[in-house]
Amino acid sequence: MAAVTTVSLKDALADYLVYLEKVRCLSAHTIRSYSNDMEAWRLWLEEQDEPWEEVDEICVRGFLANMSLRKMTPSSINRRLSSLRGFYDWAYEKTGREDNPFRRTRALKKQKTLPMYLTDGEFEKLIALTGDDFFGKRDRLMMEMLYSTGCRVSELCSMNRDSVKGIEVRVMGKGKKERIVFLGEAARKALSEYLPLRDMKAGERKKDGPLFLDNRGERLTARGVFYLVDRYSVQGGIGKKIGPHTFRHSFATSLINEGADIRMVQEMLGHSSLSTTQVYTHTGIERIRQIHRQSHPHGRSKADSGKLK
């Protein structure tokens, strides 16, 4: 029989989500992810009839095994473990306990995958599909800005008209950290063509409001951006699943391939850790390897050599 605890797990989780929002200043999207992860843990404990304050490593391993049996990816499992590690750190700090069982559980080894990015030709295909009406001009600017600045979709959607000053755009990143990103020439041109149509649709009521508007004149949502990018991808016959984050990967990959300093790329992306940015150096190395295979006689495999004869 489960022991009686002073605070139910449901109440403790609710308090923790408030802490994440008010103190840690995490985005609504991140908080939803935390909430989903911890709700899965709560349901698991109910099935096992385990008190949440007294769980041990054996219980955590059982939860880990359950996730693996359900074919969850290592990255999803690790994210869930990380969410719960943070929750128990927060909860145990209040009681003075230090034996967080999630601290003694190793993360699963993830298969290394390089981020997917768009080639210049693929990006031009997408841009060519946009029209000359309000929606076409908006979508062109949307994609040009994602590609030119490397901003996150949440940052794009939160932009207001006055966020843009010349070539500089003020964005609010994770943890409500503000940074400045820059518009390229194509993005500036797209902005100048979109703004008159945007202002006409917004009217006086939202003159200085959201930069990107939907068909009702409201702020364009992240879900709306995902839908639009997917639609253009299908229409353009891109042949791979892309989303708004693909433009961010493309931005970073282009900078690294052109020899940009990785710490400058980190700053432009708004990464808190350099290790997050370093994945793009591997993308650049892979591109160099491909060029070597294609261009150097000793870089080709025997199968490749045979085809060239």
Q: Compute the distance between CA of residue 186 and CA of residue 158 in angstroms, rounded to an integer.
A: 21
Low-confidence ranges of the chain (pLDDT < 50): 1-5, 302-309
pLDDT of residue 144: 96
Looking up residue 89, the CATH number of its domain turns out to be: 1.10.150.130
Q: Which two tokens stand for residue 16?
A: 């923790």
Active site residue 248: yes
Beta carbons within 8 Å of 139's beta carbon, 6+ residues apart: 130, 228, 232
Report yes or no on 297 lying in a domain: no
Catalytic residue among 24, 174, 179, 189: 174
Catalytic residue among 88, 147, 194, 280: 280
Q: Are 91 and 152 members of one domain?
A: no
CB 300 within 8 A of CB 293: yes
Active site residue 174: yes
| pTM of the predicted model as reported, rounded to 2 decimal places | 0.62
**3-state SS assignment for residue 182:** strand
Q: Are 137 and 238 members of one domain?
A: yes
Catalytic residue among 245, 282, 287, 300: 245
Report yes or no on 149 lying in a domain: yes
Q: Are 124 and 260 members of one domain?
A: yes
C-alpha torsion sign, points 65, 70, 76, 82: negative
Q: Are 171 and 89 members of one domain?
A: no
Active site residue 280: yes
Q: Are 95 and 147 members of one domain?
A: no
Report yes or no on 296 lying in a domain: no
Catalytic residue among 80, 137, 138, 152: 152
Q: Are 186 and 94 members of one domain?
A: no
Residue 146 belongs to domain spanning? 120-290
Q: Are 284 and 136 members of one domain?
A: yes
pLDDT of residue 307: 41
Looking up residue 269, the CATH number of its domain turns out to be: 1.10.443.10
Catalytic residue among 189, 201, 271, 300: 271
Q: Are 223 and 284 members of one domain?
A: yes
Q: Are 182 and 144 members of one domain?
A: yes
- The total domain count for the chain is 2
Summarised one tens digit per residue, pLDDT across range 268-296 is 888 877 776 776 766 555 555 565 566 56
